[in-house]
């Protein structure tokens, strides 16, 4: 079942189309990646999903009903990219305040704060002030305040920026846990290696338009170039075949080959088998999301857009 679906969402500013006719659907319990270069319209899109902005056109269906920001806001946890907390306020009070703004009662909030603080080893922070925390610590606290009210939909905009690998892994595990328990996670970033690791489903936004939508596996299949890597035991004298061409050879007799149209991978193997060369390994080379991202976005002048007037 879809927790969120966007239908022809548009948001135009005076000088540009920030989000231009974007539609997609997110399944409940999935980890969804929202990708795009700076200024692609990710933040604007997220602000519409969190009810901060209203779309100019289009509808948002949340949890089976038309999105009602006033009430649905409590079922959403949003960690914006531009985030921070009150500097002079005590950590504990701060968490309590934010939880209660999400509609939790004082007792409920206290219980949940206790649970999370213990889980992430933050109990001793209660009476500290924001200004006493390191950047990584405040990121952790920020994450806790985002998920404290057990939202159905968790939106994380660049959640790992500023975290060391240890804490990043801690948060990553929690994200997987939350997804397993049924929460849906929207994950916005331009760090592709994290997306490959975490997300099931991604869309790519550029210049306000959706240019890619699918599962990580599916997209990689769509963008593959029929390239294979083949490890041979000894160097072949010369390679001459109608089925494929050799793109690259390295010193350890590892070849990168591209199969021509109308041939299959088996044709590569049978060629080397006929030559009597021992094959040690054979695998398909799939493009990384990073490659796909760069290929799609490069040359569209996407980066200059972020400097234009937004208001």
Partner 1 sequence: MLLPVLFRKLLKTLLPNYFMNKTGLIIQREYLSRVRNKTFVITTILMPFLFALLIFGPAYLSMRDRENLNIAVIDNTGYFKDNLEDTKEITFSFPLDVDTTNYASKGYSAVLLIPKSIGNAGNNYVLRSKKTLGIGSKGAIESKINAAIENKLLQDAGIQKSQLDSIHTQSQTATLNTIEEGDNNKTKESNQLLAYGIGMGSGFLIYLTMLIYGMMVMRGIMEEKTSRIAEVIVSSVKPFQLMMGKIIGIGAVGITQFVIWIALVILIMVGVHVFAAPETLQQVQAMQQNGGVMGGNNMQVSQTAQAIYSVQHTVGSVNWGLIIGCFLFYFLGGYVFYASLFAAAGSVVDDVQSSQTLTVPITMPIIFSFIIVANAVNNPDGSLAFWGSIIPFSSPMVMMARIAYGVPGTVPYWQLFLSMFLLIAGFVFTTWLAGKIYRTGILLYGKKTNWGQMMKWAFRKA
Residues that bind partner 1 in the complex, under the rule CB under 8 A:
47, 50-52, 54, 70-71, 73-74, 76, 78-80, 82-89, 97-98, 100-103, 130, 142, 145, 310-311
Q: Quick one: 73 or 175, whose CB is closer to partner 1?
A: 73
As a whole number of angstroms, the distance between CA 157 and CA 164 comes to 17
For the bound state, the minimum distance from the C-beta of residue 87 to partner 1, rounded and expressed in Å, comes to 6
Q: Quick one: 102 or 112, whose CB is closer to partner 1?
A: 102
Q: Quick one: 95 or 289, whose CB is closer to partner 1?
A: 95
Q: Quick one: 69 or 214, whose CB is closer to partner 1?
A: 69
For the bound state, the minimum distance from the C-beta of residue 303 to partner 1, rounded and expressed in Å, comes to 17
As a whole number of angstroms, the distance between CA 289 and CA 224 comes to 11
What is the separation, in whole angstroms, between the first and last Cα of the chain? 36
For the bound state, the minimum distance from the C-beta of residue 85 to partner 1, rounded and expressed in Å, comes to 5
As a whole number of angstroms, the distance between CA 298 and CA 270 comes to 38
Q: Quick one: 66 or 233, whose CB is closer to partner 1?
A: 66
For the bound state, the minimum distance from the C-beta of residue 83 to partner 1, rounded and expressed in Å, comes to 6
As a whole number of angstroms, the distance between CA 177 and CA 171 comes to 10
As a whole number of angstroms, the distance between CA 152 and CA 155 comes to 10
The secondary structure element, H or E, covering residue 258 is strand 254-259
Q: CA–CA distance from 8 to each of 20, 53, 60, 199 (Å)?
A: 8, 15, 9, 23
Residue length of the chain: 311
Residue entry with tokens 């548009």: 10
Residue entry with tokens 């879809």: 2
For the bound state, the minimum distance from the C-beta of residue 98 to partner 1, rounded and expressed in Å, comes to 7
């Amino acid at each position: 079942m879809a927790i969120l679906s966007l239908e022809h969402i548009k948001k135009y500013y005076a000088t540009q189309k920030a989000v231009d006719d974007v539609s997609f659907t997110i399944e409940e319990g999935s980890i969804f990646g929202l990708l795009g270069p700076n200024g692609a319209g990710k933040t604007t899109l997220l602000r519409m999903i969190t009810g901060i902005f209203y779309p100019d056109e289009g509808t948002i269906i949340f949890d089976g009903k038309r999105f009602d920001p006033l009430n649905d806001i409590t079922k959403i946890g949003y960690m914006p990219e531009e985030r921070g907390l009150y500097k002079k306020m005590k950590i504990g009070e701060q968490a309590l305040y934010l939880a209660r703004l999400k509609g939790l009662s004082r007792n409920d909030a206290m219980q949940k704060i206790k649970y999370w603080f213990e889980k992430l080893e933050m109990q001793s922070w209660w009476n500290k002030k924001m200004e006493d925390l390191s950047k990584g610590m405040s990121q952790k606290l920020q994450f806790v305040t985002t998920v404290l009210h057990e939202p159905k939909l968790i939106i994380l905009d660049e959640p790992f920026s500023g975290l060391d690998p240890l804490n990043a892994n801690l948060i990553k595990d929690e994200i997987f846990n939350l997804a397993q328990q049924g929460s849906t996670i929207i994950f916005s970033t331009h760090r592709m290696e994290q997306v490959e690791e975490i997300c099931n489903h991604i869309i790519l936004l550029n210049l306000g338009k959706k240019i890619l939508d699918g599962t990580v596996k599916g997209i990689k299949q769509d963008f593959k170039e029929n390239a294979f890597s083949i490890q041979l035991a000894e160097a072949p004298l010369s390679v001459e075949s109608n089925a494929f061409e050799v793109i690259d050879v390295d010193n350890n007799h590892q070849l990168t080959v591209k199969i021509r149209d109308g041939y299959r991978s088996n044709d590569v193997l049978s060629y080397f088998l006929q030559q009597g060369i021992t094959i040690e390994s054979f695998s398909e080379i799939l493009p990384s999301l990073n490659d796909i991202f760069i290929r799609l976005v490069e040359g569209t002048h996407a980066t200059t857009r972020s400097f234009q007037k937004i208001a």
